[in-house]
Chains A and B, each alone.
Chain A
């Protein structure tokens, strides 16, 4: 997402100077595990797959990070680096619960909270600043409340825009508080030494390309003439990176900025050669995604599967869902259709299912064909499906996601 296509949404308050905060919780999953199980306090806690399984680290506590363990690292590697590490499985529902409490705390300071993930949020505090001595004391108050109410710590960055706020929160972790400079000259000096990869939108490919052209730090971007950047990066990217390099970012804090996609994936302990089993896994994942989708109260218009083969070659395949749906049956059908179209014969390492293009029911231009016989069988069927889905959701919520599933997902097609 570039600044360019957001321009039309600039709000009046972006013209005046803003105060934006970015909160990033410290080792969130691991901290919650330590909170829930005091025996883990002070120990290197690694949340994620266990080291004898394939899979990755979701979060490592700071004790574990001292050994070089970091998130997204294969658990096996983590186990080797940190032999005394305490591996605990991911308990997403618990983290989501704490995340909810966290957001409640933030929203008690300002309604303009943009949740980016379970443990990360932007706040636009421009309008509430007059209630406080200054931004620093507000940030301290937020940190204190989080510590008091959740017994957790986070790092906050305070800046005139989102980009600088996010950079700042990362400057002094854990339990940090960094106020970015506000004067342009200081901002430029602040950004200059950072590697260019820290700029929003510079991923692996762009990074490589920039590096190959001798652009390694933000300073290099600041110094290159605009024309040159344009030839290297194209009009939009050049404008985007140049703005960021000078600390300019007009994006507003979007409270409505919700999840854009929901997905689940699974890595097999051993590459799976049985398409029927992969299909079954896919159905399981689709059920989970469908469950999460309904909890989010949204409808999806795109379904996607992801398959990774033994050689790590990864493919994704998409299917539009018409009309937008949160219905188990539609998502399961889409998953099966996508999978069967691939007609996979090779061993599968990882399989995933996701939905995207999420909308709230009734959002945008929502068309609904009215029916002549609203009570007819198929409509009843849909209703039954919806009821069944909700009943299943309730069971899953009470007894866990594995407690109940459709017959097609478990026993059949062996």
Chain B
């Protein structure tokens, strides 16, 4: 196998696929990227056996063939190469020589036969939507995914294709983020699924501002195709908790807040929280939200944000990170904050179909 490729294109393609590779893989082959040279392009594939990522990239193929090379090493080399073309030649023992300008490298690979077979993407239903929209939905939900590995079903983003929309939900049991997007779902293709958060993270990197993505929904896996990239991943099996029941249907008091002001105020006040006293108090009072924290032996902090409010005074304690998470991942200038009483969940909304439900902290 022998090909020539622009350094920039090679680096970008490797960057797309390298994220999937596990740092602590037990099988050496899983640290490698499968490289196939055929006609006018290269196909790069990586997998951790749950998620596989494939990227096509144009190249000048001098002789076709396939091999697998350690992806991190390869990327670190390509990253440092001078601009221009990179010439790669792989011999029948899977040793690859890489030449660019005056630089020469030889790295050892493994036979393509050792690489796990690529999953087949056949059947199922395909949904098309703009890459930017899909990425935005992931961005607005994925931070709420649980990292507690004992709660498998919460370790991913839940997608529900129903009626005329796609509903995406993530929760760790303390807060829940839900976002909806209008999409045409034929009756027969109604489907719920949980995409593992690792795959979501990779997708957020891969999805671009322009162009469409296709979601191929299969029985136990999902494939997302966008431009030159195809990601296939196994779905998390199990029953997702009934999230609809925890989204409050009505609220007592709603205020409109400048997102950025709220975010910076929270960031400042939370400086005085500690591991043991990790809460800030949000108090809705006449024409202001006061954010405050008092930490024994540490100190206190307070900041008020002007709002239009004349309802009853409500004061709720939250983990500040959980309030900041959605604010960081929204683009709206103004958001809506809804409270019921001192011990009920708080809700953050915005002009678009997005709901964030946050359970308070009980302080005794």
* Interfacial residues, chain A to chain B (CB-CB below 8 A): 301, 320, 322, 362, 364-373, 376-379, 381
Contact = CB atoms under 8 A, between A and B. Distances in A.
B363 A367 contact: yes
B359 A368 contact: no
Contacts of B77: none
A368 B361 contact: yes
A370 B343 contact: yes
B176 interface: yes
B296 interface: yes
B363 A371 contact: no
Contacts of B150: 377-378, 381
A322 B362 CA distance: 16
A144 B194 CA distance: 73
Contacts of A366: 363-364
Nearest to B279: A367
A186 B252 CA distance: 72
Contacts of A379: 173
Contacts of A367: 276-279, 317, 361-363
Interface in B335-364: 343, 345, 357, 359-364
B171 interface: yes
B175 interface: yes
A369 B364 CA distance: 12
A63 B175 CA distance: 67
Contacts of A369: 174, 319, 359, 361
A379 B151 CA distance: 10
A376 B173 contact: yes
Contact of B275 (A320, A365, A372, A377): A320
Nearest to B359: A370
B352 to A, nearest CB: 22
Interface string B231-253: 00000000001000010000000
Interface residues of B, number: 30
B80 interface: no
A75 to B, nearest CB: 42
Given A320-B275, A368-B362, A378-B150, 10 more contacts: A365-B276, A365-B296, A367-B277, A369-B361, A370-B343, A371-B173, A372-B174, A372-B176, A372-B241, A376-B241
8 contacts: A365-B295, A365-B296, A367-B362, A368-B363, A369-B174, A372-B174, A373-B241, A378-B150
B362 A372 contact: no
A370 B151 CA distance: 17
B148 interface: yes
Nearest to B357: A372
A327 to B, nearest CB: 14
B151 A378 contact: yes
A362 to B, nearest CB: 5
A340 to B, nearest CB: 16
Interface in B153-207: 153-154, 171, 173-176
A372 B277 contact: no
From DSSP, what is the main secondary structure of chain B's interface residues?
Answer: loop
Contacts of B151: 376-378
B362 A370 contact: yes
Interface string B289-326: 00000011000000000000000000001010000000
Contacts of A377: 150-151, 153
Given A320-B275, A367-B317, A377-B151, A372 B171 contact: yes
A388 to B, nearest CB: 15
B345 A372 contact: yes
A379 B172 CA distance: 12
Contacts of B276: 301, 322, 365, 367
B173 A373 contact: yes
A366 B277 CA distance: 8
A362 B241 contact: no
A372 B171 CA distance: 9
A163 to B, nearest CB: 28
Q: Identify the interface centre among B174, B278, B364: most chain A CB within 10 Å of its CB.
A: B364
Q: Which 7 A-B pairs have the closest CB atoms?
A: A370-B359, A368-B362, A373-B241, A372-B246, A366-B364, A378-B151, A367-B361
Contacts of A381: 150
A376 B150 CA distance: 11
Q: Identify the interface centre among A320, A322, A369: most chain B CB within 10 Å of its CB.
A: A369
A28 B173 CA distance: 52
Contact of B361 (A370, A373, A378): A370
Contact of A365 (B153, B154, B363): B363
B173 A378 contact: yes
B138 to A, nearest CB: 21
B280 to A, nearest CB: 11
A373 B319 CA distance: 17
B167 to A, nearest CB: 16
Q: Identify the interface centre among A366, A372, A377, A378: most chain B CB within 10 Å of its CB.
A: A372
A393 to B, nearest CB: 23
A379 B174 CA distance: 12
A14 to B, nearest CB: 24
Contacts of A362: 364
A380 to B, nearest CB: 10
A377 B246 CA distance: 17
A372 B343 contact: no
B148 A378 contact: yes
B137 to A, nearest CB: 20
Contacts of A376: 151, 154, 173, 241
Contacts of A322: 275-276
B198 to A, nearest CB: 20
Nearest to A320: B275
Nearest to A361: B364
A6 to B, nearest CB: 16
A300 to B, nearest CB: 13
A339 B354 CA distance: 46
Contact of B277 (A301, A365, A368): A365
B362 A373 contact: no
A371 B241 CA distance: 13
Nearest to B151: A378
A364 B357 contact: no
